[in-house]
Amino acid sequence: MNVMNESPRRKELIRLAAQLFVQEGFDRTTVRMLAQEMGIKSGSLFHHFKDKQEILAAVIEEGTQNALIIAHQSIEQYPAEPEARLRAMARAHLETLFADRNAHVVALFEWRRLDPAASAHLSHLRDAYEALWVEVIDDALQAGLIHGDRFLVSRFILGALNWTVRWYDPNGPRTPDDLADELVGMIMAR
Amino acid sequence: MNVMNESPRRKELIRLAAQLFVQEGFDRTTVRMLAQEMGIKSGSLFHHFKDKQEILAAVIEEGTQNALIIAHQSIEQYPAEPEARLRAMARAHLETLFADRNAHVVALFEWRRLDPAASAHLSHLRDAYEALWVEVIDDALQAGLIHGDRFLVSRFILGALNWTVRWYDPNGPRTPDDLADELVGMIMAR
DNA sequence: CATTCACACTAGCGCTTGCTTGGTTACTCA
DNA sequence: TGAGTAACCAAGCAAGCGCTAGTGTGAATG
C-alpha cells in the first residue's frame, strides 16, 4: 500500500473514482467497477488505497483543497473593495464547482459516507473555506451592500450556489460567471 | 402483495422507512433493518411492497403530494398580492420541508436511486410543484418586487430554501417562518 | 549479479444482500 | 361455522460485496 503518495498515477485514479462516485453514488460503486475503470483488477486496487473509504476521503480532500486555493487567490486581488470581493468569491465558488465538478458533487452529497476519522480531518478544510465566506459577507454587510443576518445570508448564498450542480448545464448559453453575477445582483441593495 | 393500498398500516411503514432512509441513506438501508424497525421479519416486508424500490417511491410520493397541497392552499389565499404570495410560498416550502422532513430529505437526496419508471411518474408531481413557484415569481417580477432572470431567480431561491435541511436546527431560536421572511427580505428591492 | 521495490495478477474467503418459497395465524363476514 | 383473506414467519438461495493471501514481473539500486 501506498499511504501518502501524491504521484500522478494516484491523482488519475482519484479522478476516475470521483467520476464513478458521481455516476453511481458511493455505495453503489463497487471496488470491481472502480478497478475496471482504472484498467486493473480489483485486488490491485488495494495496493493504492487502504480501503474503499480512503478513496472517498481522497476524492473529497482534493476537491476541497482546490476550492480553498482558488478562493484565496480570487479575493486577495481586492483587499479593500467589498463588492468586488463578494463577486470574486461567488465566481470562484462556481468556477471550482464546475471545473472540478465530480469531486465537489461527491463532497456535497457523499460527505456522510465518510467514517468519523476522515470526516473530522476534512471538516477543518471545509470550515476554513466557509470562514472565507463569512469574512467576505461581513465586509459586504458593513459596506451596506447587502442586508440581513450574517449567518443566514451566508447560508442562503452558499445554498443557492451549491444547488446549481443540480440544474446548471455547462453547455448552455450561460457561463458560471453569469450565474455568479446574477446572484450577486439579485441580493444587492440598490 | 398489496399494490395500491392507502391503509394506515402502510402509511406508518412508509414513515418508518423514510426515517431510516434519512439516517442511513437508501443504499445502506437493508430490508432487514427496515423490517426490524417495523417490528416484522424481513420476508413479511414483501407482503406490503413489491420490492425495495417501491418503498422509496412511496416515501417520495407522499412527501411531494403534501408539498403540493400545502403550497396550493397557501397562495390561493392571496390571489392578487404578489408580495404576500411570494412570502406565503416561501413559508409553505419551509413548513412542509420541516413538518415532513424525512420524506423531503429523501426526495431531495435519494431521487437518483429511483428506477426510470418511478422517476418518470414522480417527475410530473415535482414539475407541478415547481410550476407554482415560477408563477409566483413571475408575479413578483412584474410587480417590480424582485429583479433578474425568472429562470435563475427561481432556481436560486429553491436552492437556498432546499439547502436549509443541511444546516437548520428546528430546536434553535428561529422558526421556519423567520427563515422564509429573511430570505424574501434579502432579495426584495427596496 | 543479487536484492529490493512498485505494481499488477489469480483465486477465493467470509459475509451480506434483496428476494422467494411454502406454510401458519388471526380476523372478517356470509 | 366455515370460507376467504390479510398479515405474518422460518428458512434459505443465488448473487454480489469488500478485502486478503500469495505470487509474478520488470525496472531501479547496491
Model confidence pLDDT, tens digit, residues A2-27: 444 567 788 999 999 999 999 999 99
Determine the length of chain B: 190
In a domain, A36, yes or no: no
Task: Summarize the confidence of residues A153-181 as an average pLDDT.
Answer: 97
The predicted model gives A24-53 an average pLDDT of 96
**Separation between Cα atoms, residue A167 and residue B154, nearest integer Å:** 11
| Average pLDDT along chain A | 94
Supply B17's cell numbers. Answer: 422507512
Please report, for the domain that includes residue B102, its CATH number: 1.10.357.10
The stretches of A3-142 forming alpha helices (DSSP H) are 8-24, 31-38, 45-48, 52-75, 82-99, 101-109, 116-142
Residue A7 belongs to a domain: no
Task: Fill in the amino acid letter for B1.
Answer: M
Domain total in chain A: 1
List the domain range (segments joined by +) for residue A80.
Answer: 53-187
pLDDT at position A110, please? 97
Cell of A174: 450561460
Residue A100 located in a structural domain: yes
Q: Is the dihedral of CA B166, B170, B176, B182 positive or negative?
A: negative
Residue A17 domain flag: no
Give nucleotides in strand D with any atom < 7 A to a protein C-beta. 6-12, 16-22
Q: Is residue A115 part of a domain?
A: yes
In whole angstroms, D30 C1' to B134 CA is 74
Nearest to B72 by CA among B26, B18, B16, B133: B133
**Cell triple for residue B150?**
425568472
Backbone phi, psi, residue A189, to 5°: -70, 145
Q: Tell me which residue of A168, A32, A155 sits closest to A104, measured CA to CA.
A: A168
CA distance B91 to chain A (A): 15
Whether A42 is in a domain gets the answer no
- Residue A180 inside a domain? The answer is yes
CA gap A57, B139 in Å, rounded:
45
Query: Residue B103 — φ and ψ, nearest 5°?
Result: -60, -40
User: Has residue A182 got a pLDDT over 70?
Assistant: yes
Contact residues, chain A, for B27 at CB < 8 Å? 25, 27-28
Structural domain contains residue B34:
no
What is the average per-residue pLDDT within A165-182?
96
Name the residue facing B159 among A27, A153, A160 (closest C-beta). A160
DSSP per-residue letters across B85-148: HHHHHHHHHHHHHHHTHHHHHHHHHSGGGS-HHHHHHHHHHHHHHHHHHHHHHHHHHHTTSS-S
Nearest CB among B27, B162, B167 relative to A163 is that of B162
